[in-house]
């Protein structure tokens, strides 16, 4: 016979499985129960396989079932091939069950001290599910987080809501309350906070506050929008909350900071809130990622865990 086997197809694999069952069962009749098909169908499958391979694999007749020399070699090769396919199937299944790779996470700064922040919980749940995943966290300005997510360098970002890109998907996580602060040594320090003078002549007016030097963030954000809406004039620029706090602590600038982050400075008497009933705003932090169809399975899983952790 002329060998006709070229590219191995699903049909070839099915015929090889029948052949293996026949050999391991000891003949066509014994293989009927194993394969749950009739003897005539088994015989036809073996004949088709012999035609595909171009060689005689077995002898059957009154003398019983017996492999040819070529059939013995093909049987051993069949066991190896089908075993490898089974291992591949198991490995693929395991990979679907086990997450691997690197997770690139980008956060806006000073989120971890927010009582509503559950990012550490989401990370813990990811570690439970995928202990082999390597996690990289970067703390970046909002504009860099947005650019990283859109360009694919960042899998998941967490930022305060301010504007949305059609190229991303967003889910709300937690809220943050911002107040305007001044540092010790600032002209408004003794007239601010819980010890604000009640005498009308000493009471602060919004117009006086707006005349003070203001330290704001240097990219499009709630900070920038609210500063403009309150009439504050930015005369110093920072690109994270640490920078704003440093400028406020200099005693020469006012600046908005999250209440949870500023709390330790207030406790130490280094800062006071300026007219907290007026100069305040709330923002919502959101998880952002590329649309679901463009996310890796790892990114999709962590995005879901992040939302789930905060929903709890």
Q: Where exactly are the structural domains of the chain?
A: 10-97, 102-173+285-311, 175-282
β partners of residue 58: 67
Tell which CATH classification among 3.30.360.10, 3.40.50.1360, 1.10.760.10, 1.10.10.10 matches the domain 10-97: 1.10.10.10
In this predicted structure, what is the pLDDT of residue 126? 95
Q: Distance between CA atoms of 196 and 187, rounded to whole angstroms?
A: 13
In this predicted structure, what is the pLDDT of residue 201? 44
In this predicted structure, what is the pLDDT of residue 152? 87
Tell me the average confidence (pLDDT) per consecutive run of 10 residues in the chain, 312 residues long. Answer: 62 90 88 87 91 88 83 90 79 68 92 95 94 92 90 93 87 96 94 59 81 91 87 93 96 97 95 95 95 83 96 84
Tell which CATH classification among 2.60.40.1930, 3.90.79.10, 3.40.190.290, 3.40.50.1370 matches the domain 175-282: 3.40.190.290
In this predicted structure, what is the pLDDT of residue 61? 73
Look up the pTM and report it: 0.67
**Residue 123 DSSP symbol:** H
User: What residues contact 265, with CB distance under 8 A and at least 6 apart?
Assistant: 181, 183, 245, 249, 271
Tell which CATH classification among 2.60.120.650, 3.50.50.60, 3.40.50.720, 3.40.190.10 matches the domain 102-173+285-311: 3.40.190.10
């Amino acid at each position: 016979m002329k060998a006709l086997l070229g590219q191995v197809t699903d049909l070839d694999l099915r015929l090889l499985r029948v052949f293996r069952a026949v050999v391991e069962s000891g003949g066509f009749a014994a293989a009927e129960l194993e394969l749950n098909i009739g003897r005539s169908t088994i015989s036809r499958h073996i004949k088709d396989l012999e035609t595909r391979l171009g060689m005689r694999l077995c002898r059957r007749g009154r003398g019983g079932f017996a492999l040819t020399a070529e059939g013995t070699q093909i049987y051993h090769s069949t066991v190896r091939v089908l075993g490898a396919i089974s291992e591949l199937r198991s490995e693929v299944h395991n990979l679907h069950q086990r997450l691997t790779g690197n997770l690139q996470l980008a956060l806006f700064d000073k989120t971890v001290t927010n009582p509503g922040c559950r990012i550490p919980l989401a990370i813990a749940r990811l570690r439970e599910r995928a202990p082999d995943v390597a996690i990289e966290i970067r703390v970046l300005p909002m504009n860099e987080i947005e650019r990283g997510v859109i360009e694919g360098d960042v899998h998941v970002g967490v930022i305060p809501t301010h504007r949305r890109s059609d190229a991303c998907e967003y889910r709300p996580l937690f809220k943050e309350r911002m107040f305007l602060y001044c540092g010790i040594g600032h002209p408004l320090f003794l007239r601010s906070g819980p010890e604000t003078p009640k005498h009308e002549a000493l009471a602060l007016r919004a117009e006086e506050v707006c005349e003070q030097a203001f330290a704001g963030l240097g990219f499009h954000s709630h900070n920038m929008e609210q500063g403009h809406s309150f009439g504050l004039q930015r005369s110093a620029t920072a690109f994270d909350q640490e920078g704003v706090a440093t400028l406020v602590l200099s005693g020469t600038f006012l600046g908005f900071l999250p209440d949870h982050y500023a709390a330790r400075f207030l406790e130490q008497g280094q800062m006071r809130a300026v007219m907290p009933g007026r100069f305040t705003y709330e923002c919502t932090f959101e998880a952002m990622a590329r649309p679901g169809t463009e996310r890796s399975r790892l990114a999709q899983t962590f995005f879901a865990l992040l939302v789930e952790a905060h929903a709890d």
